[in-house]
Structure 1
Amino acid sequence: MTAYYDDKPWLRTYPEWFSPDFTAHKESVLAKFDKAVEKNPDAPCIYYFDTVYSFSQVKKMASAFAAALAESGLGQGDRMLFVLQNVPQAVIGALAVWMRGGIVVPVNPMYTTKDLNHLLSDSGATGVFCEDTLYEKTVKAAAGQRPVITTSPLDLLGAGDSVPEQLQSAKKTLFDETSDFMALIEKFGDQTIELISPAPEDLAYLVYTSGTTGPPKGAMISHANIHHNCLVYESTARMDGTDVVLGIAPMFHITGIVAHLAIAFHMGIPMVLFNRFDALDVLRLIEKHRVTFTVASITVYIALLNHPKLKSFNISHFKKAYSGGAPVSPSTVEKFQEAMGLTIYNVYGLTESASPATIAPLGKNGPVDEESGALSVGLIIPGIEAWVVDVDNPETVLHPGEEGELVLRGPSIISGYWQKPEETANAIKDGRFHTGDVAKIDAEGWCYIVDRKKDLINVSGFKVWPRDVEDVLYQHPGVKEAAVVGVPDSYRGETVKAFVSLSDDFIGKTTPQELIAFCKERLAAYKYPRIVEIIDDVPKTTTGKMLRRELRDR
């Protein structure tokens, strides 16, 4: 069946306006930024709440910061750890590191000192750039003798602009043993240094995987990986110079890196940043800055949908809304269409694929699988080869519509994990990345993610994929979120357990027994959950992925 995949039927399913012929030309993220500066230096580059920074202003600050990093010894191939929220400093800092030929290591600000110790040791980072509130809390003990630069989310708020509510209690803190970002910008503002232009094949980021199955691994993301997926977003979302990007996904996550920072530079368009997610801030900024495009987790969209002031904002220009991280059910898509006039398009990807691996082209959302009721996550992105192989025998390529492990190869796939040759060899064979995700691709090329291979539930020898059960639960009008896991059972080996959070109107009314009966009518006898537990919220990572392991351990 390799002929089916070699033929790439998904390319024929793309809309007529779409051209799959991508240029072989590769560029670094820094080169794309420099072109944007040259083309339109006074155009807005960053909106930080109500403060505006032009491309030339961002370039000037990045150059000054690069001079400061040069004095501290940062050079070609050196790594620098970033522990920041979605603030302009994360963008300026990345540019400065690339100007020195370095590699950015962005990490979650919620990480503990123990987490940071591991990442500093594994990456070999020579310095840390962090928010001031995190320095004494977690960073100081982990950094050791490494130089630390601190910054405040207040630093780049315009003097005449109002302080947003989420920052009104914030106070900038300076430390004797650290350097201050703003002081460095001022000190090195007039200095010129020799800039190192990274090649497209050079690493731009080490992005650590979420570590849901073990210690995080550093995915080596090159400038070329990012550039390819910027071309994907540009073409499939029909982006142009009038677009405005909402920077809502964390910039320590591959989605925030590619679908916010990099695509804005690639297109020469502004990104809207706002430190941390606040639904009211986001709605106001979507209206004020006329946002058109973003990629976010479904939990973010649900928060906007449920906000009591939603109807008071004009978000009619927000037409290019993509969701990744956790699957979006057909019923959820319908709710957004009815309440907001907003079509949410599915996108699926991994850190190792530098964000999108499949995407629904603008105006053409995927079909619903007749068997499972799941919404397709889109078409395989252009320039990528894909196969579905037998889970137990990966040499066997499966027929269209059969479920197996999704395998990918192409210019957006990483070369490997940082200093992890064994893990790299296990995951990437002959350039083919084995995703660990169970999927199927239909005859027209639409892809459906069934589940994670490791999440398979074995009930009396029968395979049960959690997604199959979750998709049925989402058909119940009272179910807001659902997560299904396997739990030990003396008779069946494992049995199916569902954790469910309810919509407000159904709290106290819908019972576990009702949900079990609902599933029993719609699923095979071995598939329906024998146990349902109603909880307030399904636990998730900061990027919206379900923490099934935490649920199993309850």
Structure 2
Amino acid sequence: MLLRKPAASELSAEPILSAAENYSGEMHAIDTGVRVDAVEFARGRVALGRLLAKRGIGYGDRVVMAVANGPLFAAALCAVLARGASPLILHAKTPAAEMRRYAERYAARMVFGDGSSETEYRETGLEPYLVEAADWARLLCANVKIVDESAGNVSLVLPGVPLHPTSGTTGQPKVALRPGRPAIAEAAHYIETTGIQASDTILVAAPQSHAYCYGMGTMVPLLCGASIITMRGFEAGLVQSALRDTNVTVVPAVPAMLGSLMFGTRGDLFARVNTVFSAGAPLNEKTAKAFANKFGIAVRPLYGTTETGGIAISLPGSQAVAGICVGPAMKDVEVDVRDDGQGLAPGLGMTYVRSESMMTGYLDENGLDQSFVVDGWFKTGDIANQDTEGRIYLHGRQSEVINVAGMKVIPSEVENVLLRISGVIEAKVYSREHRTGSQSVQAAVVAHGVDDADVRAHCEKNLVYYKRPSMISFVEALPRNATGKIDMAALSNL
């Protein structure tokens, strides 16, 4: 549903391209040894743009992009935007067949990446060719024929707008439009709130294709001139090398990374680091405290969505309730927790956000849907409360609330009770749908020296009957996807 046609200035890529033009830092891929300074970065992205133009990519086209962390990610992104084309940004490990499905669904004329092989392209009916602008700037590309030129989202001309897949507030796949202005506004919010500057070096181990490190590991350095150390995928050994051998000062991480670094990493390796962020999933309070005790630095939980960009960051040195407190809203971001009549506990409500970093809307088969932003406010789907100082406490997703015979159970509340059991390392609570349509509380637990009876006895003492897990699965590790979020589909199969 197209509520209004956005002005050209709203969709312009110019803010991103201007930041790239003025970039003064260095990009170092620690896993491949590639080092690209600002001059070489400019040469590479301009050369890539020319080569893509020769292959027919121009104003209003769409391109599916699956590129790993590194200088090539930012160069390819800017090369597409400079042609007036819109990159649909996927994870680097996206199979060629899935890239093609995205291309066909969203009318992209080209797919490219640096993860799939020529054989994989051909097996899915694509004819690959190599575009090479430099030894560090190679893309395997293939053209895709648009089957239905009359489809609504084909006729919608997008002049260089980054497109980001997201599950939205409903859990259904969508694509969010994040043009240049909101992308750079988000970076400015991060910079103003955290003080990141050109002298900093950011370690980028989480995917740059994911909204979190697209902002923190791509847009922030482009805007302020900070250098980045990258790796194609998280490896604890590479992170340890980067901390030991380079001047890393900022580490945007996800909880699973922090947990991995607890084992085998010397306590002094974070001596030069001044800030560690955690986003993408709730930060376990035990992990936060253990990390601070070992490395002498308090992790700062960060809260955001693909649609809104970054929303809140906890204050320096605060970790009392790291698992649910994400601090106050960032500068120039407004948060309103409203009672939407969901029958939640007193003080809890739905989180609404208004910010200059807000998406323009969702791209779907019918065109541009802007109905999810009302009077500038976006309903995130996150249940929260705020204290008198404006700090935000998250209590899970509206879609995760479990309805047990009409009584609402918030998974995070049960998880926090489980995590107080000595020996429980991680816990995830979720619902189980029964044939009758009713729901029950399930729990997946990572623990040592704890059995089913221990967990049930603890829950009986600390939770009302309908909040107690009816089924408890003990697992070696919680299943996670490439971005570090818990894989709920895998959990449902336990």
TM class, shorter-length: 0.7 to 0.9
Aligned to 1:29: 16
Aligned to 2:6: none
Alignment map for 1:360-375 (pairs within 5 Å): 360-361=314-315, 363-365=316-318, 368=321, 374-375=323-324
Q: Deviations over 1:117-153 (max 9, x none)?
A: 331123322212212544422x4455646x754679x
What code does the residue aligned with 1:327 have? P
Identify the match of residue 298 of structure 1 among 252, 255, 260: 255
Aligned to 1:541: 481
Aligned to 1:79: 62
1:511 aligns with 2:451: yes
Alignment map for 1:382-397 (pairs within 5 Å): 382-392=331-341
Q: Distance in 2 between matches of 1:481 and 1:327?
A: 11
Alignment map for 1:196-207 (pairs within 5 Å): 203-207=160-164
Identify the match of residue 351 of structure 1 among 290, 306, 311: 306
Q: Distance in 1 between matches of 2:342 and 2:475?
A: 38
- Uncovered stretches (5+) of structure 2, i.e. residues with no partner: 1-12, 144-157
1:261 aligns with 2:215: no
1:322 shift after superposition:
0.4
1:517 shift after superposition:
1.5
Aligned to 1:439: 384
1:327 aligns with 2:289: no
Alignment map for 1:464-543 (pairs within 5 Å): 464-488=409-433, 493-502=438-447, 506=448, 509-543=449-483
Aligned to 2:52: 69
Aligned to 1:270: 227
Aligned Cα root-mean-square deviation (Å): 3.2
Q: Deviations over 1:31-76 (max 9, x none)?
A: 1121234xxxxx5244444432110011111111111112122222
What code does the residue aligned with 1:546 have? I
1:95 shift after superposition:
2.0
Change (3 A) 1:244 1:228: same
1:488 shift after superposition:
4.3
1:437 shift after superposition:
1.4
Change (3 A) 1:299 1:374: closer
Q: Distance in 1 between matches of 2:91 and 2:102?
A: 11
1:332 shift after superposition:
1.8
Q: Distance in 1 between matches of 2:367 and 2:110?
A: 27
What code does the residue aligned with 2:136 have? L
Alignment map for 1:371-450 (pairs within 5 Å): 374-392=323-341, 402-419=347-364, 424-450=369-395
Aligned to 2:26: 44
Q: Distance in 1 between matches of 2:169 and 2:389?
A: 33
What code does the residue aligned with 2:400 have? D
1:282 shift after superposition:
1.2
Report how many residues are paired: 467
What code does the residue aligned with 1:122 have? R
Q: Give the TM-score of the pair, scaled to structure 2.
A: 0.86
Aligned to 1:225: 182
1:489 shift after superposition:
6.2
Q: Distance in 2 between matches of 1:213 and 1:481?
A: 26
Q: Distance in 2 between matches of 1:375 and 1:450?
A: 7
1:423 shift after superposition:
8.7
Q: Deviations over 1:368-421 (max 9, x none)?
A: 3xxxx9530121222222222234479xxx99x721221112211111111366
- SS where residue 413 of structure 1 aligns? coil
- SS where residue 23 of structure 2 aligns? helix
1:156 aligns with 2:143: no
- SS where residue 266 of structure 1 aligns? helix
Q: Percent identity?
A: 24
Change (3 A) 1:553 1:426: farther
1:455 shift after superposition:
1.1
1:114 shift after superposition:
4.8
Residues 288 and 319 in structure 2, CA contact (< 8 A), matched pair in contact too: no
What code does the residue aligned with 1:380 have? A
1:275 shift after superposition:
1.6
Residues 29 and 70 in structure 2, CA contact (< 8 A), matched pair in contact too: no
Residues 250 and 273 in structure 2, CA contact (< 8 A), matched pair in contact too: yes
What code does the residue aligned with 1:220 have? L
1:313 shift after superposition:
6.1
1:446 shift after superposition:
0.8
Residues 259 and 294 in structure 1, CA contact (< 8 A), matched pair in contact too: no
What code does the residue aligned with 1:33 have? A
- SS where residue 393 of structure 2 aligns? strand
Residues 286 and 425 in structure 2, CA contact (< 8 A), matched pair in contact too: no
- SS where residue 52 of structure 2 aligns? helix
Change (3 A) 1:133 1:27: closer
Change (3 A) 1:376 1:212: closer
